[in-house]
Structure 1
């Protein structure tokens, strides 16, 4: 008898999860989060190291409490990500409270696209579905996954109205550049971690870390504005909770565009622009740290920098 592969499990989840009632699916997610947290897995330990840096001064007990909330938020996202394909437009809109929409809508109306810098916070799949419904076409990048998962993943995102460009060395940026200019659309890029040779060194909470150059580079190359986007959860009550079918809603804050030129009109550098959007998003994450789902290494202190440099041919 053949054991199910990860592809089988993902395919099953995308097929079954949209049919499940909200409360048992989320209850199962909360149990999975608590078990993982209690086991204090490597991912949980890394989450705690990351959270301790953006929220310094927490006691050990406070940090553990925060990481538990973080794992519950992460599993909430995971369950929703599989269920969102079955959401109606009305349910998506009922779950989302956006701010800053008029400024972005104005750019799209005049025929330009908008580059967006996002982190792994809140529910970026639901945010993408909302944008496809309420803003315009959505174009983004995704890493190629093994064992046939990529095709499943692309089909899932396409069902939400999100077009995917595969992450491929040497081709991704050129493809994204060409496609972004074909029509007005939003181009959200998850960028709060990047260990490739193209990653940019920035300071997060005064500590060196690596993030993606993509948002700044694409904005400079196209002339399209670069908008940081903060995504986090909030509790719903009353009529909105009934309409959403959930006690949790999503806040999507489209923040003021980052300056790509200085006061004299000269282009700013990619690193400088990147540091600006990182500062904006990390300040937001410090206000709702439980929704920053960063279970991977992003700070230099956690990375083997010599090995990283060798893998990129830099040493």
Structure 2
């Protein structure tokens, strides 16, 4: 299977909105807001807020550029110490605020995973989670210059149950790999490039445009084929469907919808919405819908590694809603097994969302023909023909990657 490339014609119009707080510079000692996606409402190009926002975006872009340029040049041990120090600083502040009765969103999210009140989430888990998040960024800045083939051969990448993926490809079906934001999924992509010839995925357009281009080029440098969610020569859905019909592999992030047009699911016992694109692609093309999970490992000697597993395909015969709920259940089980590596610092569940956002979700769901009380397991009405990616895309916006 040839490495999937040739995306230059589609690129320049992720996920991956940048809602998470990310290391602002090569040291990773401070956490700053990620890249924006659009101007503030009510502000034109000449407005004061727009000028300030553009300036902030330019600084953000330069911060990422510095990260990719400088962090990869640091000795691995020094880079690890610096990023861990930044993570520890952030976790100490978060834990102090939680003890004062102000738990942050990460703690509230992990409380759902553990099934405890936020105040009972261990401080050590917050620290480990922040270190895991910082580690992702440290590796992202260094990954383009690392020897990918040697990393796969070194035994530091532990791949489990890969037979599910191999069976789908052997059958000529293609595979949709759906996964949450856990561990280092770029490393899983590197394994796919080395062992399956490549993968196709999507990326959300970030602002400024230069940052979007930077993230596109980063993932292309790893051997991924990347389609923009918007602004490309063609919508991504039919292009991804073509890849699957050619028996290729498509990877999509899948646990958080930001459009309001996702599928309502039960996730750790509470209601949220997840993107429908992975299930729709599988139903449309006959590809296997395979849950995937990634996590970090650290050996007794302190040597870092990566875990990656595929699972048995999801049964999509019950429709998009049932398949997406089944994905949510698999995601929940895997996140619970590796809670520190789930990089979710933003609101996920309905009860954490603002009234403004809930109103947008209700309007979007109503426009799709869903009632506000649409319950778990009900099938989504299917419009004639192929659904547009705009109607089915929900993006995490984290790190320039996206979910269809």
Q: TM-score range by the shorter chain?
A: 0.7 to 0.9
Matched, 1:87 2:146: yes
CA contact (8 A) 1:48 1:64 kept: no
Q: Which residue, 183, 189, 213 being the options, matches 2:252?
A: 189
Deviates more, 1:15-24 or 1:45-54: 15-24
The structure-2 alpha-carbon separation of the partners of 1:311 and 1:67, relative to structure 1 and needing over 3 Å to count, comes to: farther
The structure-2 alpha-carbon separation of the partners of 1:314 and 1:236, relative to structure 1 and needing over 3 Å to count, comes to: same
RMSD of aligned residue pairs (Cα, Å)? 2.5
Give the corresponding residue for 2:132. Answer: 73
The structure-2 alpha-carbon separation of the partners of 1:178 and 1:254, relative to structure 1 and needing over 3 Å to count, comes to: same
TM-score relative to the length of structure 1: 0.87
Shift of 1:171: 2.2
The structure-2 alpha-carbon separation of the partners of 1:8 and 1:134, relative to structure 1 and needing over 3 Å to count, comes to: same
Matched, 1:50 2:109: yes
CA distance in 2, matches of 1:288, 1:260: 26
Residues 133-189 of structure 1: per-residue CA shift (max 9 Å, x gap):
1222210111111111111111110111111111128923233223333x3322110
Matched, 1:225 2:288: yes
Matched, 1:33 2:97: no
Give the corresponding residue for 1:312. Answer: 364
Give the corresponding residue for 2:350. Answer: 300
Q: Which residue, 237, 240, 246 being the options, matches 1:173?
A: 237
TM-score relative to the length of structure 2: 0.69
CA contact (8 A) 2:108 2:118 kept: no
CA distance in 1, matches of 2:139, 2:152: 11
CA distance in 2, matches of 1:93, 1:20: 23
CA distance in 2, matches of 1:58, 1:251: 29
Q: How many residues align?
A: 300
Residues 80-118 of structure 1: per-residue CA shift (max 9 Å, x gap):
111111111112443310011223123223433210110
CA contact (8 A) 2:110 2:121 kept: no
Matched, 1:209 2:272: yes
| Ranges of 4+ aligned residues in structure 1 off by more than 4 Å | none
CA distance in 1, matches of 2:153, 2:191: 6
Q: Gaps spanning 5+ residues in structure 2: where?
A: 1-54, 368-404
Shift of 1:310: 6.1
Shift of 1:224: 0.3
Look up the SS of the partner of 2:122 in the other structure. helix
In proportion to residue count, which structure has more helix? Answer: 1
Give the corresponding residue for 1:241. Answer: none
CA contact (8 A) 1:177 1:218 kept: yes
Q: Gaps spanning 5+ residues in structure 1: where?
A: 239-245, 262-267
Matched, 1:151 2:213: yes
CA distance in 1, matches of 2:258, 2:366: 13
CA contact (8 A) 1:199 1:212 kept: yes
CA distance in 2, matches of 1:65, 1:237: 19
CA contact (8 A) 1:219 1:226 kept: yes
Shift of 1:65: 2.2
CA distance in 2, matches of 1:29, 1:211: 31
